[in-house]
Structures are given as structure tokens and as C-alpha cells.
């Protein structure tokens, strides 16, 4: 479900946070919400393994590229030339 933020001050804060962190606006909001939930001890998991699992889940969303470029040339023995 989409979330619409009508308060222009809040939108500006999100844009500033995203620019300063290099994150997308969605990722910046997610991190801020997660930090507040963890600070209040109401998150579902605040351990290192939970964060690691979350990172792996994000990596799994990256599509495989069929035309990946390999800059190295390989010999018949599987070693770089």
C-alpha cells in the first residue's frame, strides 16, 4: 500500500536525509523508522543477525544480468591471461 506524505516540511526532511546519506527516499525513511523502532525496543529484531538477514534479502532482489562483462581473459586452465 502506498504512503502519501502531505506535509511539505516532512517531505523536505526526507529529501534532505536521502541526499545526505546517498539513499533513496524510501530507504532513508525505512532506516529512520527502523532506528526509531529499535530505539524504543519495539522492532521485530534488533540483533546483528536480523540486520544481516535484511541485507541479504535486499541483495536477493537484485536481478541477475545475463550479459555481465568479464574484463579478464581466461586461458584453458581457468587462469587469467
Does a structural domain hold residue 72? no
H/E element holding 77? none
Regions of the chain short of the pLDDT cut 70 = 41-46, 66-67
pLDDT of residue 67: 63
Does a structural domain hold residue 21? yes
pLDDT of residue 46: 55
Q: Please state, in angstroms and rounded to a whole number, the distance separating the CA atoms of residues 77 and 55.
A: 35
Does a structural domain hold residue 5? no
Does a structural domain hold residue 38? yes
Does a structural domain hold residue 75? no
Does a structural domain hold residue 68? no
Mean pLDDT computed over every residue of the chain: 84
* Domain ranges, residue 40: 10-60
pLDDT of residue 60: 85
**How many domains are contained in the chain?**
1
What secondary structure letter does DSSP report for 74?
A: B
pLDDT of residue 15: 95
Does a structural domain hold residue 36? yes
pLDDT of residue 18: 93
pLDDT of residue 32: 92
Q: Please state, in angstroms and rounded to a whole number, the distance separating the CA atoms of residues 55 and 26.
A: 15
The reply to whether the predicted model has a pTM over 0.85 is no
Amino acid at each position: 500500500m502506498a504512503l502519501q506524505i502531505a506535509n511539505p516540511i516532512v517531505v523536505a526532511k526526507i529529501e534532505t536525509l536521502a541526499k545526505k546519506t546517498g539513499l533513496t527516499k524510501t530507504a532513508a525513511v525505512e532506516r529512520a523508522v527502523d532506528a526509531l523502532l529499535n530505539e524504543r525496543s519495539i522492532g521485530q529484531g534488533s540483533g546483528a543477525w536480523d540486520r544481516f538477514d535484511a541485507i541479504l534479502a535486499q541483495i536477493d532482489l537484485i536481478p541477475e544480468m545475463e550479459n555481465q562483462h568479464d574484463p579478464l581473459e581466461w586461458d584453458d586452465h581457468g587462469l587469467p591471461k
